[in-house]
Structure 1
Amino acid sequence: MKNFNICIDIDGTITDAYYWLNITNKYFNKNITEKQITKYYIHEVMGIKQSEYEEFYEKNKIQIHSEQKLREDVQIVIKKLSLMHNIFFVTAREKSLTMLTHSYLRKNEIPYDDLFVLGSHYKVDKARELECNVFIEDNYDNAVQLSKAGVKVLLLDTNYNRKPLNENIIRVFSWKEIYSIIDKLILQCKAM
């Protein structure tokens, strides 16, 4: 029997948080740096209309999501976690990207029990359905929403999510730290 049901976001969580920057800068003829990315929504960062970003994204989403680099230690940590826990990827990506996402995870040798491509940033219902013990996320609003629904959230630090946290959110800085915290959470559960 596996210990925890771990839900994991993909973009900015297992992948580099600024994966979209180079291609977006080039397309919109901008020179935005990682330090300037203090908002989650890309159109706001780039100073463009949401409709302009959506048009760009529609043309480039396959390339963007196929070429994303993984965060350091993601493969090692998720492989270790998958030995003792259920791994569920829960992403806000469009449903049309489901097969591409499966392929990306397999190509990068990331084990998982299931993938849920929601097409929405609202993840609370899926987390409840999966009886999620811990959710690993980079989107501040998602983290707050999940935490208020009673889900323990590990929020991977980025320039765009440095806002106050509640008692159900732990800010983390690496995947090795995530592994360590999940170990501690299991010990706490067993002690209860």
Structure 2
Amino acid sequence: MAVEEEGRKGIPSLLSSGEENIASNITQLIGWTPLIEMKNIAKKDGVEARLVGKMEAYQPLCSVKDRSALRMIEDAEEKGLISPGVTTLIEPTSGNQGIGMVFIAVQKGYRFIAVMPAKYSLDKQMLLRFLGAELILTDPANGFKGMIGKVEELMKTIPNSYCLNQVTNPANPDAHFKWT
């Protein structure tokens, strides 16, 4: 049974009740991160406070970036800026945020184009493609400006395209106020 709670969506805990808790979509699991008390670390370091850590590896893609990617996409949807099956999302990325974005975008029915310099890690390039991104590589000598230039060029030629712009998008840090 999926639940909503003050900005958090997800399945509470598969062990929290006798009820069957099954997500209908993997994005519902984002934000429900188990906490673990770190008594040994606190004791060893002489910390008097209760020390608790979040197990981000329990996010669908094992990353805190899942939260901000979901929030940026949902924020743009809520504002009527993008629509599944209509909008092509184009994003400059070094990999981590783009991985979260393509994962959620594809789940929701968006075409996703990731733009990154060719020198960036091959494993991230492969993962982006595996998750469903079209990948456009830019000349590494042009750096960040080269990525932005390519995104702007693509947005002029691809109808119904939109850039979530992770660097300046207020929904990016907002995700952590709501869900982290």
Q: TM-score range by the shorter chain?
A: 0.3 to 0.5
TM-score for the superposition, normalised by structure 2: 0.35
Indicate the structure (1 or 2) with the bigger Cα radius of gyration: 2
TM-score for the superposition, normalised by structure 1: 0.33
